[in-house]
Amino acid sequence: MKPTQSLKIIFIGTPEFGAIVLENLAKTSFKPVLVVTSLDKPNGREQDLTPSSTKLVAEKHNIPVIQPEKIREIVGKLKEIKPDLIVVAAFGKILPKEILDIPKHGSLNVHPSLLPKYRGPSPIQSAILDGEEKTGVTIILMDEKMDHGPIIKQQVVRLEGDETFENLSKKLAESGATLLINTISFWLKEMIESTPQDERDATYTKIFIKEDGEINWRKSAKQIKREIRAFYPWPGSYTFWERKGRWGKRGQTIRIKIIKAEVLKSSGIPYPLGKTVATEDKKFYIQCGGIPSGTPTDFLLVEELQLEGGKPISSQELLRGYPDFIGTVLK
């Protein structure tokens, strides 16, 4: 089923998740007539204004873009367009009722979880942190509450246990885009019924900040590995090495981001938490604990890392450059 040429869809989104959904949508007969995204943001050392990923995709497909400072600023513009449908994917702001009521067929949201589980701003990171074996995408009819509206369609995505936020986000965006495209025609023709979410099963996620990436070596190696995956590429999982200066005096504190690691089972007397130990193949592992007790348990075998201001390197490369790293206790 194809829509008529007069069909008007408005797309609202900002980061890469939204950009991927828009890219797929723009290649179909459901190409939006307008894209709404966030303001350009300063980025990098020079703080140059940088457009959102969604804006770049819109410009690529010659779709008009508006970037309101406040979402209510666009009410008049949307009423002028008289859209048939609004599609939202990763916008990060709750739309007011006066916008949701504008389109003839409502406003649909593509959410990267199996709602009502993992409502809120960080469903992908939270699924990884919790060690879920599956997640997915949900298309809902939006209401005024966060990720609360009735469910139209869902798609389950199985997890292998090695996904990072970066690659899982892309995978879920592609899945969500396909689900959306396969759903729109049936929704417009009222051939799909929505189902209210069961509030008893609802869970909520939080906004992560930079400090959430600091590794606590009292945690188990299994949990720390999940954090490394969930927080890649941002905020990253990092720790601090207090490198000794000459004659044992305190030198510099070096921030180390761990990019890839595996769990290594302990088979002997435990070391102090956070202590670095060399392997026979010139890698290194770190003693981890097991909150709440903090008792040393397994090790985190580091495969790839990044020193502050440097490029990603292997653990072997680090030890070649800093042999004094072994035996230190990371903070």
Span 297-315, pLDDT tens digits: 899 999 999 999 899 999 9
pLDDT at 244: 79
- What pLDDT does residue 5 have? 52
Q: Look at residue 9 in the predicted model and tell me its pLDDT.
A: 98
What's 291's DSSP letter?
A: T
Alpha carbons 99 and 107: distance in angstroms, whole number? 9
- Evaluate whether 302 touches 286 at the Cβ level (below 8 Å): yes
Q: Percentage of the chain with pLDDT > 90?
A: 87
Residue that finishes a domain, picked among 147, 168, 201: 201
How confident is the model at residue 252, as a pLDDT?
86
Q: How confident is the model at residue 250 (pLDDT cuts 50, 70, 90)?
A: low
For the segment 183-200, the average pLDDT, to the nearest whole number, is: 96
**Phi (first) and psi of residue 246, to 5 degrees:** -70, 145
Q: Specify if 330 maps to a domain.
A: no
Give yes or no for residue 235 having a pLDDT over 80.
yes
The per-residue pLDDT for 245 is: 63
Task: Check whether residue 36 and residue 139 sit in a common domain.
Answer: yes
Name the nearest CA neighbour of 85 among 195, 196, 190.
Answer: 190
Q: What φ, ψ does residue 274 adopt, rounded to 5°?
A: 90, 0
- The domain total for the chain is 2
Question: Residues 235, 254: one domain?
Answer: yes
> In 10 A of CB 36, how many CB atoms?
27
Q: Judge whether residue 3 has pLDDT over 60.
A: no
**Residue 237 — pLDDT band, cuts 50, 70, 90?**
very high
Return phi, psi of residue 116, to 5°: -85, 10
Q: Which long-range contacts (CB under 8 A, 24 or more apart) does 190-196 make?
A: 192/152, 192/153, 194/140, 194/141, 194/149, 194/150, 194/151, 194/152, 195/150, 195/151, 196/150, 196/151
Same domain, 263 and 172: no
Same domain, 221 and 72: no
In this structure, how many other beta carbons lie within 10 angstroms of the beta carbon of residue 4?
8
What pLDDT does residue 270 have? 87
- Whether the per-residue pLDDT at 7 is higher than 90: the answer is yes
- 180 plus 217 within the same structural domain: no
On whether residue 1 sits in a domain, the answer given is: no
Residue 2 lies in a domain: no
Q: Determine the pLDDT at residue 45.
A: 72
Mean pLDDT of 148-154: 98
Residue 60 lies in a domain: yes
Nearest to 329 by CA among 290, 284, 291: 284
* Mean pLDDT for the chain overall: 94
Contacts of 191 (CB under 8 A, 6+ apart): none
Q: Which domain holds residue 61?
A: 9-201
CA atoms in the 13 A half-sphere facing the CB of 236? 14
Domain edge (last residue) among 201, 223, 242: 201
Residue 65 CA to residue 237 CA, distance in Å, equals 35
Mean pLDDT of 251-268: 91
Q: What would the two tokens of residue 9 be?
A: 């869809």
Length of the chain: 331
Model pLDDT, residue 1: 41
